[in-house]
Amino acid sequence: GAVVSQHPSWVICKSGTSVKIECRSLDFQATTMFWYRQFPKQSLMLMATSNEGSKATYEQGVEKDKFLINHASLTLSTLTVTSAHPEDSSFYICSATGGGEFYEQYFGPGTRLTVT
């Protein structure tokens, strides 16, 4: 149980375009979803926390107008990277909790974004 999927698993886009990444909880209702970013040889860094039906809370230094997060349902959250630039190339990974302890996060497999 507690499976989280992400789509796409990898994406290449041109600089200046936008790309949307989906995160779905397949067998539970995700009251809270988290979006992380991981650069090579660095740790997972939390970008934002989103609760179903409310606005996402962004971490310091993360541009909310650039990284649009929508958590419209209890099973789906989306991250849209707007006007992508090569420095946005990274590994984006989501996690979800079903209302249990905050640390009971179930992670998706991640999305590799490359901006050319």
Q: How far apart are CA 111 and CA 116, in angstroms?
A: 16
- Choose, by CB under 8 A, the member of 21, 69, 81, 93 that binds another protein: 93
Q: Does 91 bind another protein (CB under 8 A)?
A: no
Over the range 95-115, which residues count as b (16 or more CB within 10 Å of their CB) and which as e?
bbbbeeeeeebbbbebbebeb
Stretch that binds another protein, among 13-21, 37-45, 64-72, 76-84 (CB under 8 A): 37-45
Identity of the residue, 36 or 88, whose beta carbon is nearer to another protein in the bound complex: 36
> Which residue is associated with the tokens 């849209």?
80
Tokens of 89: 């190339």
Residues that bind another protein (CB under 8 A): 4, 6, 9, 34, 36, 41-46, 49, 59, 93, 95, 101-110
